[in-house]
Structure 1
Amino acid sequence: MKKFLPFVFTAISLAASAQNNSSNKIISNKADALKDKIIAWRRDFHEHPELGNREVRTADIIAKHLKSLGIEVQTGVATTGVVGILKGGKPGPVVGLRADMDALPVTERVNIPFASKVKAQYNGNEVGVMHACGHDSHMAIMMAVAEVLAGMKKDLHGTVKFLFQPAEEGAPAGEKGGAEQMIAEGALENPKVDVVFGLHINSQTEVGKIVYRPGGTMAGVSDMQITVKGRSAHGAYPWSSIDPVVVSAQIISSLQSIVSRNVNVTENPAVVTVGVIQGGSRFNIIPESVKMQGTIRYFTEYDEKLVTDNVRRIATKTAEAYGATAEVLIPYSNHYPVTFNDVDLTAKMLPSLQAAAGKENVLLRPPVTGAEDFSFFQQKVPGLFFFLGGMPKGGSPLTAPSHHTPDFYLDESGFTLGVKALCDLTLDYMAGKGK
């Protein structure tokens, strides 16, 4: 019998490959057929954006769509989140798929028929509201994924858990939210999720392309607040003061040495940015205190500690040298871990991404110093997070409007690729290819 085993395994392998190719073709056809619906959903979400923990209308649309597909639905998760549970007809793993829901306090100026005119209150101010990061497309893509997979329910080897997550950009002041809160409220349990996949549209990657990275793909982030306290005086008599403005200027300059002189940038990038300086009320009054706020970014726990410790040391010791004091809070309001793609999982699922987009269209990318709270899911279960092209063909990444800006723009022709990729990842993992 032994001499026939190679032929037996070859036959099994060929049969599995043929079945997989057939599934890929079915998914591709179904995704293409849903193209108009995906665009319509996305445009509706875009025209009616809602800020984090305020995604009430958005959640209602999603929940109704999932229920119409026969999917079990949980609402009000982490305030406005929606969880859909699709139990397949055959036993198997539980695959989590995540899409974020919230918009940003940005006033849109893109000339499109479905541009947002919405205004809302944010931190006590009236602001324009815009889907300036593509979360509208993420929701529309996953609604289509749910429709495709629900149509294959009896053939699914396992369960799919759709995680529509609020407040990815951060919960409003004084509130909890986002992935961390969804996890705290049991979104990864009952049934327990074995693996999680997610995507993010990218306005500076050409449509039809998928980019990915194993390991640390997006930075961990902590915000920081430094309060320098000195002694106030008349601006004409600076010798009577301990000037917190001068001290703050020295601190900001010295902080730049952390990345250039302390971090081994040949191994991992890091960022230290001061984005806010607040102090003083009149040109001829030296204030008593100055407050600075900023962000630090890193890709390893070692670098997180290195950067954080050095920020504290530089701020406090510089202030002390001038006779002032500095209070350093890191983090003071939010902290996201590194978005870390499980290395083995990424390697095993790479063929699924290549099957969806074509091998030549799946590209390895450098690490990104932006941050994502998808990372909280990856701390609990193995995860893979990848980027989907949203820039018109022939565009330049150098000139395409970036995320979080009023001119942010997406080419909608690439949305169906996101559907194909998430469906292929789900079915291939269920078939055992990602284990």
Structure 2
Amino acid sequence: MLLVAACGVAHAAPDWPAAAAGIEARVIEHRRYLHEHPELSNREFETAKYLERQLRALGLEVRTGIAHTGVVAVLEGGKPGKTVALRADMDGLPVTEETDVPFRSKVRTRYDGRDVGVMHACGHDGHMAILLGVAELLAAKRTELPGSVKFIFQPAEESPPVGEEGGAELMVEQGVLGDAPRPDAIFGLHLLSTFETGHVGWRSGGIMASADDLRIVVHGKQTHGAAPWLGIDPVVVASQIVLGLQTIASRQMQSTEAPVIVTIGKIDGGVRDNIIPDRVEMKGTLRALNEAMRADLHARVRRTAQKIAESAGASAEVFISERHAYPVTYNDPALMRAMLPSLQAEFGDALFEAQPILGAEDFSFFQREIPGLYLFVGIRPPNVPAEGFPANHSPKFFMDEAALGAGVRVLSRLAWDYLEAP
């Protein structure tokens, strides 16, 4: 309780709304430059150079080339204390922008063998601009800062290209949390079109889902389509498996505990209408908000697919997380209790308890190592209905730039109050 009280008052902390307003123009300038010059995952070379220049100009100690293009800066406060990490992601998406803003992206590149546009369609440009703003505010207060802040600019949140490593997992492997100064906690945020500008969402426990890719190969016996009894039809078996998998979420898992998702997004099999093939491949994704339920889900998916196939005389190979696997983004309950008074004091009625999202975030790899909090910040202009407003990952995605100030306030207040607490 002492920690909660200390975090809640924080009498020595700056006036964060006024401080954020004082640098608003520069934060918007950062965001617009980064939006106009997006780069894909593990290719954020010019983005990293821009971040390095801005951070060095603030007098921070900067390291580059972590997890390919990641940038890490350290601000040492004038008073001894703990260390807190703050994280922003850097990569854009293979999306051709369809907005009419003057700083829209016109960048094109190659992705998966195709010519594509590149766009910050998920708000990562805003995340980086916010973190640069936080670095500026805290650097100006370094003599009063009770501890150190590690600023982590992470590449490849949208997952690295096939055949490459990257993202938060690789940053952790390369020591971003273990190298001095070692953070005691980490904070991050995501700008979301779901919520109105200035509104901040929190949640204790699972706030975003785990993500595991799923591949199932059904092996049957090829035969003529007019004589199915002479073979084993993997198309029918695959269809039964798809339906059987849906009963896992609806009939086998405790839905009052947390939801799970089993989605099959691709089925491939056969070459001709009158030939029953010998093989069908399915691909999909598994989502959970609880690590124990995640493990249980994996076991049930394997059992369901294999037993259904066996019942028809076929066989099924089940591959989970061959390439892509993110843990649950899990907000440490004790840390959330400690920091909630700070958020309540800063945002009042604009703070709300958010429902979990079944999208995934590799911020979760940091949270597996140290306690962390991940929050949502709204970017939808006031009085604009949510229905029809461009969602994250849309080619029409845009943000109310007034939301950037709220993001600066979130991370600045959390960092300061966490370091100030005993």
- 2:180 is aligned with 1:190: yes
Specify which of 363, 368, 374 is matched with residue 357 of structure 2.
368
Instruction: Select which of 62, 77, 81 maps to 2:70.
Output: 81
1:3 counterpart residue number: none
Work out which of the residue numbers 159, 178, 184 in structure 1 matches 2:167: 178
Residue matched to 2:264: 274
Tell me, yes or no, if structure 1 residue 322 matches structure 2 residue 330.
Answer: no
Q: Verify: 1:124 aligned to 2:107, yes or no.
A: no
CA distances 1:32-80 after superposition (whole Å, capped 9, x unpaired): 1221221221122112211111100111100110011110000000000
| 1:311 counterpart (298, 301, 304) | 301
Relative distance call for 1:24 and 1:399 in structure 2 (3 A) is farther
The answer to whether 1:341 aligns with 2:316 is no
Which of 230, 233, 236 is the aligned partner of 2:223?
233
Correspondence 1:134 to 2:123: yes
Cα distance in 1 for partners of 2:396, 2:50 equals 26
TM-score by length of 2: 0.94
Query: Does the 8 Å contact 2:9/2:342 carry over to 1?
Result: no
Aligned residue number for residue 6 of structure 1: none
- Match of 1:409? 398
Return the alpha-carbon distance in structure 1 between the equivalents of residues 141 and 273 of structure 2.
69
1:261 matched to 2:244? The reply is no
* Cα distance between partner residues in 2 of 1:405 and 1:256: 28
Q: In 2 relative to 1, CA 46–286 (structure 1 residues): closer, same or farther, beyond 3 Å?
A: farther
Matched residues in 2 for 1:325 and 1:405: separation? 39
Partner of 1:19: 11
**Contact 1:352-1:421 at 8 Å conserved across structures:** no
- CA distance in structure 2 between the aligned counterparts of 1:323 and 1:111, rounded to whole angstroms: 57
1:207 alignment partner in structure 2: 197
1:397 is matched with: 386
TM-score (norm 1): 0.92
Q: Secondary structure at the match of 2:14?
A: helix
Aligned with 2:152: secondary structure? strand
Distance 2:317 2:156 in 1: 29
One-letter identity of the residue aligned with 1:248: A
Amino acid corresponding to residue 121 of structure 1 in structure 2: R
Question: Of 54, 59, 62, which aligns to 1:65?
Answer: 54
Q: Does 1:32 align with 2:21?
A: yes
Report the 3-state secondary structure (helix = DSSP H, G, I; strand = E; otherwise coil) of the residue aligned with 1:334.
strand
Matched, 1:387 2:387: no
| TM-fit CA distance, 1:204 | 1.0
Matches within 5 A, 1:285-300: 285-300=275-290
CA contact (8 A) 1:24 1:355 kept: no
Compute the RMSD of aligned alpha carbons.
1.8
The answer as to whether partners of 1:207 and 1:414 remain within 8 angstroms in 2 is yes
Instruction: Compute the displacement of 1:324 (Å).
Output: 1.7
Q: CA deviation at 1:237?
A: 4.1
Residue 408 (structure 2) aligns with: 419
User: 3-state SS of the aligned residue for 1:246?
Assistant: helix
Superposed CA offset, 1:166-191 (max 9, x none): 01111111111111110111101211
Q: Distance in 2 between matches of 1:326 and 1:266?
A: 31
In the alignment, the residues of structure 1 paired with residue 10 and residue 297 of structure 2 have an alpha-carbon distance, to the nearest angstrom, of 51
Deviation at 1:17, TM superposition (A): 4.8
Q: 2:97 maps to what in 1?
A: 108
Deviates more, 1:75-84 or 1:189-198: 189-198
Tell me the amino acid that sits aligned with residue 11 of structure 2. Answer: Q
Give the equivalent residue in structure 1 for 2:144.
155
Tell me which amino acid in the other structure corresponds to 2:417.
D
d(CA) in 1 for partners of 2:48, 2:259: 37
Percent of paired sites with the same residue: 49
Letter in 2 for 1:19: H
Q: Residues 213 and 244 (structure 1 numbering): CA distance in 2 closer, same or farther, change over 3 Å?
A: same
Q: Work out whether residues 24 and 356 of structure 1, in 8 Å CA contact, stay in contact via their aligned partners in 2.
A: no
Distance 2:254 2:116 in 1: 40
From 318, 337, 350, give the equivalent of 2:340.
350
Report how far residue 236 of structure 1 moved: 4.2
Q: Deviations over 1:187-212 (max 9, x none)?
A: 01211111101010011100010001
Note the C-alpha offset of 1:286: 2.9
Whole-Å Cα distance in 2 between the matches of residues 407 and 133 of structure 1? 11
Q: Give the number of aligned pairs.
A: 416
User: Residue 333 of structure 1: SS of its match in structure 2?
Assistant: strand
Could you tell me how far 1:138 is from its partner in structure 2? 0.1
Tell me the secondary structure at the aligned position of residue 11 of structure 2. Answer: helix
- Between the aligned partners of 2:203 and 2:49, the Cα distance in structure 1 is 34
**1:83-131 alpha-carbon deviations (Å, 9 max, x no partner):** 0011111101111000001111222222322222222222233322221
Asked if the contact 1:204–1:396 (Cα under 8 Å) also holds between the matched residues in 2, the reply is: no
5+ residue gaps, structure 2, are none
Q: Is structure 2 residue 178 aligned with structure 1 residue 221? A: no
How much does 1:307 deviate? 1.1
| 1:284, distance to aligned residue in structure 2 (A) | 3.6
Q: Which amino acid is 1:278 matched to? A: D
Return the alpha-carbon distance in structure 2 between the equivalents of residues 167 and 325 of structure 1.
36
Any conservation in 2 of the 1:244–1:287 contact (CA below 8 Å)?
yes
Residue 332 of structure 1 and its aligned partner are, at CA, apart by 1.7
Asked whether the 8 Å contact 2:329–2:367 carries over to 1, the reply is: yes
Whose relative contact order is higher, 1 or 2, with alpha carbons under 8 Å and at least 6 apart? 2
